A and B are shown apart, each in its own frame.
Chain A
Amino acid sequence: MPRNIIDVVDLTVEEIDELIATAEDIIQNPAKYQEACRHRQLATLFFEPSTRTRLSFESAMLALGGSVLGFSEANSSSTAKGETVGDTVHTVSCYADIIAMRHPKEGAPYAAAQFSEVPIINAGDGGHNHPTQTLTDLLTIHREKGRLNGFTVGFCGDLKFGRTVHSLVNALSRYDGIRFVLVSPAELKLPRYVKEEALKKRNLPYVQTTDLDSVMPELDLLYMTRVQKERFFNEEDYLRLKDSYILTPEKLERAKADLSILHPLPRVNEIAVAVDRDPRAAYWKQVKNGKFIRMALILKLLDIHV
């Protein structure tokens, strides 16, 4: 059975530390890795549009000397003819050494893994999980703070459908001394099961609030998210909630000098462009880190040691 990454908790804390160490080494010595995946192929199966994640996977594989194939929307695959996820993945696993898959339905990568002969990486399944974004976030936090423990982290925006939030809360709950501040409108609170599994079971401290300003001075990290139109069945609800939180330079006046601001991107308007010039903005560095951690993950799943 190939090793798959469907959820970030499929990786142990030690394995995540190892991936972060490999990514750091890639950043320091890129030339050492440029032929590591020669003659290996990555298939990117994107049943839902994406810019960052797909290009990041493709860029990662190319930087390792491998090649890429795949599709970037369901309409250009046999899914449009009614093919099941299992059959599509079974077919592609005959052509590629590893598959990165994004799908709008929750659990589709788990289903795919039952039919694949090569490793499957979940590149996002609906509002459920997005483990490689979480690895990107962890690498960014590690690079910004020098550690993955002992801080207060605020999550702000859509905590209900924001899969990056669910995965990151789960991942951080395994490290020591982290306090969680959950800022969202009442309708977009963190789902109960995430709170119960990740926070309550481990007795981790957390607060829930609708007011970002009041908690801003406490935060060491602020993880902003977009209210995602595609997750709503009802456009009225989306329009009502989309502008709930907009981060501006004025709001950041009360924040710590060493705050790090993360965002999985794309943003719409929840972070004012003026904030990009603030040295505390780490989200563009986060984009770059996404490529390096995906390189490390591809190497791990293909069992390639450099």
Chain B
Amino acid sequence: MNIDSIQNGVVLDHIQAGKSMDIYKYLHLDRLDCSVAIIKNVRSGRMGKKDIIKIDTPLELDLDVLGYIDANITVNVIRDGVRVEKTHLELPQKLVNIIRCKNPRCITVAEPQLDAVFLLSDPARHTYRCAYCDTAKDRKR
């Protein structure tokens, strides 16, 4: 299967197989007017299988969102058909308005206009806690 190379844009590589649609949703890629290619289950020496997303326009990505979903993703910035930047992600220390607290007793549920803030509490388990009520949220796997 062949997908054209992009000239100016972003390639998200090393996405855990099956996660590409989550990323499409969290990054609101449906709102873009350009070509977006989602390539699933690509053979990978290191990962066995992986997903790739190619976005055919230069754009600023929320790296916190990406790091939260899958810190192994690499972000490649392409200009004039050449990769000019490659970023390895890490788990963000703080998530703001990326996930919401599910604890019905939490003030952010009663007052949804408050920023939803989560802090990384256990990097090994990818656990984040609501900064308001301490309720844990494990990263989607």
For window 101-139 of A, CB contacts with B under 8 Å fall at 103-108, 110-111, 125-128
Residue positions of B touching A, CB distance < 8 A: 103, 105-108, 110-111, 113-114, 121-122, 129-134, 136
A103 nearest in chain B by CB position: B107
Q: Please determine whether B107 and A111 come into contact, CB atoms closer than 8 angstroms.
A: yes
Q: Which residues of chain A have C-beta atoms less than 8 A from B106's C-beta?
A: 105-107
Q: Please determine whether B111 and A85 come into contact, CB atoms closer than 8 angstroms.
A: yes
For window 66-112 of A, CB contacts with B under 8 Å fall at 84-86, 103-108, 110-111
Contacts known (A85-B107, A85-B111, A127-B105); A107 close to B131, Cβ less than 8 A = yes
Identify which of A86, A127, A193 contacts B136 (C-beta below 8 A): A193
Q: Please determine whether B103 and A197 come into contact, CB atoms closer than 8 angstroms.
A: no
Seed contacts A106-B134, A111-B132, A126-B133; 11 additional CB < 8 Å A-B pairs: A84-B111, A84-B113, A86-B114, A104-B105, A106-B107, A107-B130, A111-B111, A111-B114, A125-B133, A128-B134, A193-B136
Q: Please determine whether B110 and A105 come into contact, CB atoms closer than 8 angstroms.
A: yes
Q: Which residues of chain A have C-beta atoms less than 8 A from B122's C-beta?
A: 196
A-B contact count (CB 8 A): 49
| CA A103 to CA B106, docked complex, whole Å | 11
B133 nearest in chain A by CB position: A106
How many residues on A have C-beta within 8 angstroms of the other chain's C-beta atoms? 18
DSSP majority for the A interface?
Answer: mixed
| CA A296 to CA B107, docked complex, whole Å | 29
- 3 cross-chain pairs, A with B, having the tightest CB-CB distances, nearest first: A107-B132, A106-B133, A105-B107
B136 nearest in chain A by CB position: A193
| CA A196 to CA B124, docked complex, whole Å | 13
In the complex, what's the smallest C-beta–C-beta distance from A85 to chain B, in angstroms?
6
Contacts known (A85-B111, A111-B111); A106 close to B136, Cβ less than 8 A = no
A196 nearest in chain B by CB position: B122
Q: Please determine whether A106 and B114 come into contact, CB atoms closer than 8 angstroms.
A: no
A191 nearest in chain B by CB position: B134
In the complex, what's the smallest C-beta–C-beta distance from B55 to chain A, in angstroms?
35
Q: Which residues of chain B have C-beta atoms less than 8 A from A193's C-beta?
A: 129, 134, 136
| CA A128 to CA B105, docked complex, whole Å | 9
Q: Which residues of chain A have C-beta atoms less than 8 A from B111's C-beta?
A: 84-86, 111
Q: Please determine whether A110 and B103 come into contact, CB atoms closer than 8 angstroms.
A: no
A112 nearest in chain B by CB position: B107
